[in-house]
Amino acid sequence: ETIDTGLVVFFDDDIRVAPNVLMEYDRAARNAKEGAYFGGPWDVRYETPPDDWIYPLLPPSTRSSKAPDEFSWFIGYNWAAFAADLRALGGFNPQYGPGSPLNATGQETEMQARMRQAGLKARPVPEACVTHHVPERMTTPQWILRRKFRDGVRRGIDWKRAAIRHNTRFEMGREAVVCALSTAKQFARRDRFRAWRAAHALAFHSGKLYGAFRYTQ
């Protein structure tokens, strides 16, 4: 809100920035031939390396990516956009991300989605790499469970805002029940990976229901 013009680069307070990152973003912005926003790859530095069975369950922000276009969206702690474009689209939606009244994730994803809809192009900046410090608490099944719930809340808010009729609350509830049964079955089988994966799916669908019911604006 305090930046009038120019390129805004978004970092978090738990990343290490390579010396050339800002210069690479500046170069990409100067070479942009049309409306665009930008994002770079990331590496991670674990306080304690996660167990092999947990690694596939981790969200993208706690796993390395040398290619910024490996995922559908630029990561929230390493991307950039022009202030004029952010203002033209009404700024960030406070229902998502830090300060969200429902504790939903996805503030940068929601903004990037609006940028796409407005015709802006996503431009990877492969040389603008940062390193994300991942504390031990963010590599536990319990933390991932809470994160999945928050991701689900975001999807529930998306549903409520878009008034998507082909995915009713009844169907959301059915998905949650199916996930609950799958979770119970996998824990009964003592398959740790499958059990936690089912539990995370249950957390996601539960969060989606919560977001859909609680979002009121």
* pLDDT by position in tens, the chain (length 217): 788 889 999 999 999 999 999 999 999 999 997 899 999 999 999 999 999 999 999 998 998 776 555 556 899 999 999 999 999 999 999 999 989 999 999 999 999 999 999 999 999 999 999 999 999 999 999 999 999 999 999 988 988 887 554 456 556 666 666 666 565 665 556 677 888 888 888 899 889 888 988 887 7
Q: Which two tokens stand for residue 25?
A: 């973003």
User: What pLDDT was estimated at residue 97?
Assistant: 93
CA 110, 159, 213, 137: dihedral to nearest 10 degrees? -40
CB 160 within 8 A of CB 95: no
Please give the pLDDT value at position 215: 87
The residue behind tokens 């369950």 is 57
What pTM does this model have?
0.85
Q: Kindly write down the DSSP assignment for every residue of 93-128, as one continuous string.
A: -TTSSTT-TT----HHHHHHHHHHHTTPEEEE-TT-
Please state, in angstroms and rounded to a whole number, the distance separating the CA atoms of residues 36 and 106: 20
Q: How far apart are CA 198 and CA 9, in angstroms?
A: 36
The token pair that represents 207 in the structure block: 């969060």
Q: Give the pLDDT confidence score for residue 176 in this predicted structure.
A: 60
Q: For residue 10, give every residue at least 6 positions away whose Cβ sits within 8 Å of its Cβ, in sequence order, or none.
A: 76, 77, 78, 79, 80, 81, 108
Six-digit token pair at 217? Answer: 């604006």
Q: Given strand 15-17, what is the order of strands in its sheet?
A: 15-17, 130-134, 42-46
